[in-house]
Amino acid sequence: DTAVSQTPKYLVTQMGNDKSIKCEQNLGHDTMYWYKQDSKKFLKIMFSYNNKELIINETVPNRFSPKSPDKAHLNLHINSLELGDSAVYLCASSPRAGTLSFSGNTIYFGEGSWLTVV
Amino acid sequence: AQSVSQHNHHVILSEAASLELGCNYSYGGTVNLFWYVQYPGQHLQLLLKYFSGDPLVKGIKGFEAEFIKSKFSFNLRKPSVQWSDTAEYFCAVLDTGRRALTFGSGTRLQVQP
């Protein structure tokens, strides 16, 4: 029944490793997002996809690469992990981008994936 | 560029006290504003949102917020807090151009029994 689900929920890995976080939504939404929440709880958008098309690509290192195989899935792959990548990565989804300003539409968030790089 | 400021970083209240969390935004387009709550270990949940119309918006769990255009503010209020309201609260503005939310830095609310 979970609307936006992410796996894994917790991930501890060593510097230099490559890891992926997966996200799936069963809401029938067209738009999906990745946000990063740092140790001070600050939330910043990283990427958004609308129906498998990349819409937002913030100034994040190119070690981060999103992939959307279909509109219900948005995965995040991180190469050569660094200590500073430790954070909570939040996946989200919303109805078709451009309709967000209409009442009743909102962005739904997953529970987050807690990444710790040691 | 749009931005959101939450000046209260950490608020400590006793149960039954009244709550007001400040939120100021900067955005040149049509304003759509949100308050989200994040309970410990849980995901972000929508408390309330403003798109247009009545500037006083009521949300879940007894929360409300007032949009004051002249002050660029969207403060969150609750008349009487409960211990279960302990959480992190985030104000956000929708960037309709980029079609994404810009969040404030969050306010940690701690309610003591």
Collect all residues of chain B within an 8 Å Cβ-Cβ radius of residue A109. 36, 43-45
Looking at residue A79, its pLDDT comes to 96
Contact list in A for residue B99 (CB cut-off 8 A) is 31, 48, 50, 55-56, 97-98, 100
Rg, chain B, Cα only:
13
Residue B67 is predicted with a pLDDT of: 96
Share of chain B above pLDDT 90, in %: 74
Q: What is the pLDDT of residue B9?
A: 93
Per-residue confidence (pLDDT) for residue A2, from 0 to 100: 67
pLDDT of residue A114: 95
Report the Cα–Cα distance between both ends of chain B, in Å, rounded.
41
What b/e string do you get for B64-102 counting C-beta neighbours within 10 Å, with b at 16 or more?
Answer: bbbbeeeeebbbbebeebeeebbbbbbbbbbbbebbbbb
Mutation site, A23, A94, A107, A108, interface B, largest B CB count within 10 A? A107
Q: What is the pLDDT of residue B27?
A: 81
Higher pLDDT, A59 or A87: A87
Mean pLDDT of the region B32-57: 91
Q: What is the pLDDT of residues B12-38, one digit of tens each?
A: 999 999 999 999 999 877 888 999 999
Q: Which residue of B has its CA nearest to A33?
A: B100
Cite the DSSP H helix spans in chain A.
none
Nearest to B94 by CA among B49, B44, B43: B49
Region B76-85: mean pLDDT is: 97
A12-53, pLDDT tens digit by residue?
999 999 999 999 999 888 889 999 999 888 999 999 988 888
Number of residues written out for chain A: 118
- Is residue B35 within 8 Å of B65, Cβ to Cβ? yes
Task: Please give the single-letter amino acid code of residue A72.
Answer: A
Q: Are B63 and B91 in contact (CB under 8 A)?
A: no
8 Å CB contact between B99 and A48: yes
Closest CA to A21 of A59, A57, A74: A74
